[in-house]
Structure 1
Amino acid sequence: MRILTLAATLIALAMPASAQISVGEISRYLNSFRTAKSEFTQINADGSISTGDLSISRPNKARFDYDAPNKGLVIAGGGQVAVFDAVSNTPPEQYPLSQTPLSLILANNVDLGRSGMLVRHGGDATQTSVTLQDPAHPEYGNIQLVFTPSPTTLRQWVITDDTGSQTTVILGDMQTGASLGSSLFNIPVEMQRRGLSN
């Protein structure tokens, strides 16, 4: 009986380390889909909360449609990120996607084993988190991804930008393999639709 108890104790002690999702499995999961849709809740650095719908089309494309009263729009496409203000008639603020941590999971091939990319990896039987940065430009900030197992599913991310400000995005049930038109991620087309010019 003591041997059985000892064996059960050893198994229980071993479970947290072995139960976390491996880096290889997370890479496989992120590369297993090209498109995805999900509702999201965003907690901003100032504590305010926004909700909306997220569309992803890898490589390098994403769209955040914010619900009222915000009604903002953020598009990643064409190597740029454009932030559209719902109440302004001015062109969107734009900056290179490559300078944002989000680019790490929108890449054509996600390889968490890339040297210097993985900053932290930990978890237990209920969830696993990984923190990633661009090894060539750690000053751009980092992104922490949280996954649940069986099957591996992305549940949220936390982006820490170059100023140290954090934005948390909590995902609803993600629908992968979604049919998404390319115009959703076309910044010039969206600007034209809104009657904006550079």
Structure 2
Amino acid sequence: MTLFRIALAPALFVLSLAAPAAAEKLSLDQLSNYLNTLGTVTADFVQTNDDGSRSKGVLTIKRPGRMRLEYETSKDLVLTSGGQVGVFDAGSNEPPQRFPLSKTPLNLILKNNVNLSQARMVVSHTEQNGDTIVRAQDPAHPEYGSIDLIFSDTPVLKAWVVHDDTGGSTTVQLTKMRLGGKVSDGQFNIHAEANRRGTPLD
């Protein structure tokens, strides 16, 4: 499903901001520490799919394990909580598609303790135009796909690209990131959302 090639994400996304030629990539420990300091995050996003189609929306992350991708125009929705991912298609009367978060590359940044230095997790670690780009995968299950994480030199997570197990890629660019604040756990509840839409889970 294009909605959750993610979104969860064709060429690698690179922001065009100029950077010093001598810029150095951030270390994996620096990036792990940054990700582990993120609690609640809200940001605007633009998603670009394999076919070139684009969609906008609002992303909310509440680590560990919770994420909400709310699409602006279509009213489609992706929720992550309780170790599950639920994909809601606003044009369907069917219950959401569900699958384990552990089988998606985004699990690597949503889990409680991110350790990019773990053996065989990082496939590549480069610097480009002042940004640090890390490609990571589940060391035990590389067949689940991989994720490119793009960080500014601050660091700030600017974008990700998910390469799924079918060979597809989806890019999510983040802007206007806001940190902190209170977000109810109910915003991520797959069962409650399914009931609200009249498509209860079995």
| Shared fold (TM-score, shorter chain, > 0.5) | yes
Q: Which residue of 1 aligns with 2:36?
A: 31
Are the structure 2 counterparts of residues 24 and 95 from structure 1 closer, same or farther at C-alpha, using a change threshold of 3 Å?
same
Give 5+ residue unaligned stretches, structure 2: 1-19
- For 1:32 and 1:55, how far apart are their aligned partners in 2? 15
The structural deviation recorded for 1:125 is: 6.3
Instruction: Give aligned pairs, total.
Output: 182
1:120 paired with 2:124, answer: yes
User: What is the 5 A alignment of 1:51-70?
Assistant: 51-68=56-73, 70=74
Q: What do you get for the CA RMSD once the two structures are aligned? A: 1.4
Give 5+ residue unaligned stretches, structure 1: 1-11
Deviation per residue, 1:4-33 (Å, 9 max, x gap): xxxxxxxx98x34xx211111100100112
Q: Which residue of 2 aligns with 1:8?
A: none
The structural deviation recorded for 1:131 is: 0.4
For 2:176, what is the secondary structure of its paired residue? coil
Higher relative contact order (CA 8 A, sep 6+): 2
Report if the CA contact (8 A) 1:27-1:112 is conserved.
yes
Higher CA-based Rg: 1
Q: Which residue of 2 aligns with 1:72?
A: 76
The structural deviation recorded for 1:97 is: 0.4
1:178 paired with 2:181, answer: yes
What is the letter of the counterpart of residue 63 of structure 1? Answer: R
User: What is the 5 A alignment of 1:77-156?
Assistant: 77-124=81-128, 126-149=130-153, 151-156=154-159
The structure that is helix-richer by fraction is: 1
Report if the CA contact (8 A) 1:146-1:157 is conserved.
yes
Report if the CA contact (8 A) 1:37-1:178 is conserved.
no
What is the letter of the counterpart of residue 78 of structure 2? Answer: V
The structural deviation recorded for 1:170 is: 0.2
The structural deviation recorded for 1:173 is: 2.2
TM-score when scaled to structure 1?
0.88
